[in-house]
């Protein structure tokens, strides 16, 4: 702390950029507080014990069928990552065995020390003598009842969407998550489809998409081929859901309610699953090789959107929301249950991360750069920040994913589908090895360790059915992670380099951030906080801009503006629960509006050691001559600003013992 004897000036202001000079005042002795100390530690998100839990990203190649080496949960990563489903369902077991195998309609010769796999006797018909066993009747009942209710209430628009998402290439379908960039993406990728709407004779004819799914890659598409290649790599040769389907042997929902042997005969469910009539010709006649858990369509959609979100992070949240929407359309079609699509999402996140991580940083960057070169040219922009604005320029009328709040609500609903927690709801979150690559382009100013902490602090609570895998893939909330930290459980330093453009230059964290840690803003970029934050370690601004867009954006601690700028665009007064200190060379920029909009309401003491105050007004708000504008209210105020600039007005500052007001002179 620094002690200071200061003669407070009365400052006269002029128009806009006119600087102010002192014209008298009294003595004010005060001590300049130090910056908040925070916790003095940083948070981390270590990987689960790799000996006990082999990381999926290191073992993705084991997600195979027809190979005896990978026929068990212990040896097949694609099965192991969704093994939480075993809390709900016990699959048909080989005779004399206590361990299920990847054996539904599947054989495999012996391979070294791994014995041959014989085909399972499972018929695929629920309630038959060869069927597995329901382990959690309540969850199983809710799982199938959800599909009954959803298909009964299905609208005409939902029928079209469900049909298209079933029949079209998933890579083509999900591109509408790009909103204003959709047409440019499809053109650049040279994507095609032959499925549009429901054909008149679809109830009797099976139509397959003759398009090319994700488009044309390689040298045949010099302007976008690297992007398509990345998508194909991320989808991956090891992304199949078939090994898990053939391990779990859990029937599709319509087979549960249609089977004469099904428990539904005894009244387990109310009603039956109604498969979309246009998809009846698609129904398999081989139930023993057509299990429901997990959904291949839902998994493929998730893999597709994560690859697209990597190269086009401007639409990260909209894309991941679209991926989960396709999963719900599988339920509305009557083809899959909520647990089926949850399982598809879990496995797909792991596959996408593994295959992205397998590419070199140079390969990933080349695809990212190519995507931006092509789509920025189509948008007529040369600046990444302007391009991000263009990507969000549409409205809900022409972009189904234009509303953040709606996307968030739908995404959260589709993560759990309303299931209650059935196990310990307070387990600490674990972040899978390699998962941080999924946020590499969305949060480029954070290092890999920080991105892992973001995933940890935004993860879902534990205890939901089928979602508590040991690595943590099931609890990832990627939509929430794209909105920054969920908690500062250690001190967080954010360094943004505006010269790199894009999110390095400007970003917003919209989560409600808790924790006892401190936030320090460094670098030349601008970070906006918009949540109802409650972190208590304090806030320090060293360089660049920290923008407070909500009343509690700065949490519950002290705020120390040592350099750079603090900007306030809160619709009500910005609350600072501790003290506020501003040093010379820094700028406080307030947008004052009607009521208390843009004001500082400080519970502690305000200490002004020089620095600048810049006042602007929102469109439509015009103070009149003689108005007294409250700028700061505090328990105490010491010192003054070195300069005050008011957009378009001359003002006289009125410093008081507990705040600052500005009198509008002209």
Domains in the chain, ordered, with CATH? 2-39+488-664 (no CATH), 136-451 (1.20.144.10)
Cα 140 from Cα 88, distance rounded (Å): 7
The two beta strands, 659-664 and 587-591, are unpaired
Find the DSSP H helices in 380-524: 384-391, 404-416, 448-457, 478-481
Q: What is the pLDDT of residue 263?
A: 61
pLDDT at 267: 65
Residue 403 CB coordination number (10 Å): 14
Query: Cα-Cα-Cα-Cα dihedral of 119, 125, 129, 134, to 10°?
Result: 100
Q: Is 543 left (phi over 0), alpha (psi -120 to 50) or beta?
A: beta
Which residues, including other chains, have CB under 8 Å from residue 506's CB and lie 6 or more apart? 385, 388, 498, 525, 526, 527, 528
In this predicted structure, what is the pLDDT of residue 6? 46
- Average pLDDT of adjacent 10-residue blocks, the chain of 666 residues: 50 37 49 96 97 97 97 98 98 93 97 96 93 95 97 98 98 98 98 98 98 98 98 88 98 90 67 96 95 98 98 98 98 98 98 97 98 98 96 93 98 98 97 98 98 98 98 98 98 98 98 98 98 98 98 98 96 96 98 94 98 95 94 98 95 97 94
Q: CB 604: neighbour CB atoms within 10 A?
A: 18
Find, among 2, 77, 78, 74, the residue nearest to 33 by Cα.
2
Task: Using the structure block, give the residue that is written with the tokens 């960057």.
Answer: 365
Which residues lie closer than 8 Å to 444 by C-beta, 6 or more apart?
500, 502, 503, 504
Give 3-state DSSP helix, strand, coil % of the chain, rounded to 5: 35, 15, 50
- Give the C-alpha separation, 196 to 203, whole Å: 15
How crowded is residue 46: how many other Cβ atoms within 10 Å of its Cβ?
11
Helix (H, G, I), strand (E, B) or coil at 347: helix
With both helix axes pointing from N to C terminus, report the angle between 361-379 and 296-311 in degrees, rounded to the nearest 10.
80
What is the secondary structure of 266-321 as a DSSP string? GTSSSS-----GGGGGGS-S-GGG---SS-HHHHHHHHHHHHHHHH-GGGHHHHHH
CB–CB of 14/652 below 8 Å?
Answer: no
């Amino acid at each position: 702390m620094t002690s200071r004897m200061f003669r407070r000036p009365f400052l006269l202001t002029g128009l806009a950029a006119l600087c102010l000079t002192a014209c008298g005042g009294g003595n004010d002795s005060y001590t300049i507080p130090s910056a908040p100390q925070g916790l003095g530690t940083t948070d981390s998100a270590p990987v689960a014990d790799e000996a006990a839990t082999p990381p999926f990203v290191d073992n993705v190649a084991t997600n195979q069928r027809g190979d005896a080496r990978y026929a068990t949960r212990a040896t097949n990563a694609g099965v192991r990552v969704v093994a939480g489903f075993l809390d709900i369902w016990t699959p048909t077991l080989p005779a004399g065995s206590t361990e299920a195998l990847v054996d539904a309609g599947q054989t495999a010769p012996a391979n070294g020390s791994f014995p041959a796999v014989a085909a399972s006797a499972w018929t695929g018909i629920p309630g038959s003598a060869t069927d597995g066993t329901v382990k959690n009747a309540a969850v199983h009942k809710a799982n199938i009842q959800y599909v009954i209710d959803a298909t009964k209430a299905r609208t005409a628009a939902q029928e079209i969407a469900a049909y298209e998402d079933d029949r079209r290439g998933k890579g083509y379908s999900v591109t509408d998550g790009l909103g204003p960039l959709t047409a440019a993406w499809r053109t650049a990728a040279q994507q095609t489809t032959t499925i549009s709407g429901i054909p008149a004779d679809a109830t009797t004819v099976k139509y397959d998409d003759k398009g090319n799914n994700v488009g044309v890659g390689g040298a045949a598409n010099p302007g976008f081929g690297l992007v398509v290649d990345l998508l194909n790599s991320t989808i991956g040769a090891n992304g199949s859901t078939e090994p898990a389907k053939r391990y779990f042997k859990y029937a599709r929902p319509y087979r549960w309610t249609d089977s004469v042997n099904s428990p539904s005969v005894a009244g387990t469910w109310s009603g039956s699953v109604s498969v979309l009539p246009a998809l009846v010709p698609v129904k398999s006649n081989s139930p023993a090789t057509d299990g429901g858990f997990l959904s291949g369509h839902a998994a493929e959609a998730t893999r597709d959107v994560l690859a697209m979100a990597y190269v086009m992070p401007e639409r990260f949240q909209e894309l991941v929301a679209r991926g989960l929407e396709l999963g719900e359309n599988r339920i509305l079609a009557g083809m899959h249950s909520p647990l089926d699509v949850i399982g598809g999402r879990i496995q797909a996140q792991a596959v996408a991360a593994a295959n992205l991580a397998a590419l070199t940083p140079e390969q990933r960057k080349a695809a990212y750069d190519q995507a931006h070169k092509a789509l920025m040219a189509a948008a007529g922009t040369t600046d990444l920040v302007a391009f991000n604005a263009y990507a969000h320029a549409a409205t809900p009328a022409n972009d189904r994913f234009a509303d953040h709040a709606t996307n968030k609500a739908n995404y959260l609903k589709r993560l759990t589908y309303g299931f209650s927690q059935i196990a310990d709801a307070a387990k600490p979150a674990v972040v899978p090895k390699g998962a941080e690559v999924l946020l590499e382009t969305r949060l480029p100013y954070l290092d890999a360790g920080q991105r892992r902490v973001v995933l940890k602090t935004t993860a879902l609570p534990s205890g939901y059915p089928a979602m508590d895998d040991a690595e943590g893939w099931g609890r990832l909330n990627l939509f929430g992670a794209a909105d920054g930290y969920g908690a500062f459980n250690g001190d967080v330093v954010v360094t943004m380099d505006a010269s790199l453009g894009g999110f390095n230059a400007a970003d917003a964290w919209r989560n409600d951030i808790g924790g006892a840690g401190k936030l320090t803003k460094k670098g030349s970029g601008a970070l906006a906080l918009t949540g109802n934050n409650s972190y208590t370690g304090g806030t320090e601004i060293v360089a660049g801009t920290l923008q407070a867009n909500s009343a509690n954006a700065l949490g519950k601690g002290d705020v120390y503006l040592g350099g750079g700028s603090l900007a306030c665009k809160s619709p009500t007064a910005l609350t600072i629960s501790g003290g506020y200190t501003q040093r010379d060379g820094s700028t406080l920029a307030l947008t004052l509006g009607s009521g208390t909009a843009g004001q500082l309401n400080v519970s502690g003491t305000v200490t002004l050691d020089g620095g600048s105050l810049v006042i602007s007004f929102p469109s439509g708000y015009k103070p009149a001559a003689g108005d007294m504008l409250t700028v700061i209210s505090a328990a105490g105020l010491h010192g003054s600003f070195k300069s005050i600039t008011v957009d378009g007005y001359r003002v006289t500052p009125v410093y008081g013992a507990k705040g600052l007001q500005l009198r509008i002179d002209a």
